[in-house]
Amino acid sequence: MKTILNTDKAPAAIGPYSQGINTGNLMFLSGQLPICPAEGKIVAEDIEGQTKQSLENVKSILESAGCTMDNVVKTTVLLSDIANFGKMNEVYKGFFSEGNYPARSAFQVAALPQGALVEIEVVALKAE
């Protein structure tokens, strides 16, 4: 059985997809752009601000399902410029408990929607 995850504390989907899917004890969150839910657009201009907003969006979706960032088991980070990896990483590590970091992949891509510098998707494990 699957349940659609949806919260107004994260940006609404801008296409035919869900913010996330809960399949029992696994949750799959769609890639989160750094869209500020209150503004409905990307506000931050630098990689640090955009990474923070993307992860705040992830955190809000997880919280809507009764989870925290410590439930995350895998992330995929898409960057418009891999040179931003170090700055992204500094913000990223602050969203997880020390020693409880998820597995991660990071890639440079040709472009991201709305000119974003970063997009982050996650898989999380929910205790039943």
pTM of the predicted protein model = 0.95
Higher-confidence residue: 128 or 52? 52
pLDDT tens for 44-101 read 999 999 999 999 999 999 999 999 999 999 999 999 999 999 999 999 999 999 999 9
The pLDDT assigned to 74 comes to 98
Residue 31 has pLDDT above 80, yes or no: yes
What is the 3-class SS of the chain, one letter each residue? CCEEECCCCCCCCCCCCCCEEECCCEEEEEEECCEECCCCEECCCCHHHHHHHHHHHHHHHHHHCCCCHHHEEEEEEEECCHHHHHHHHHHHHCCCCCCCCCEEEEEECCCCHHHCCEEEEEEEECCC
- The pLDDT > 70 percentage for the chain reads 99
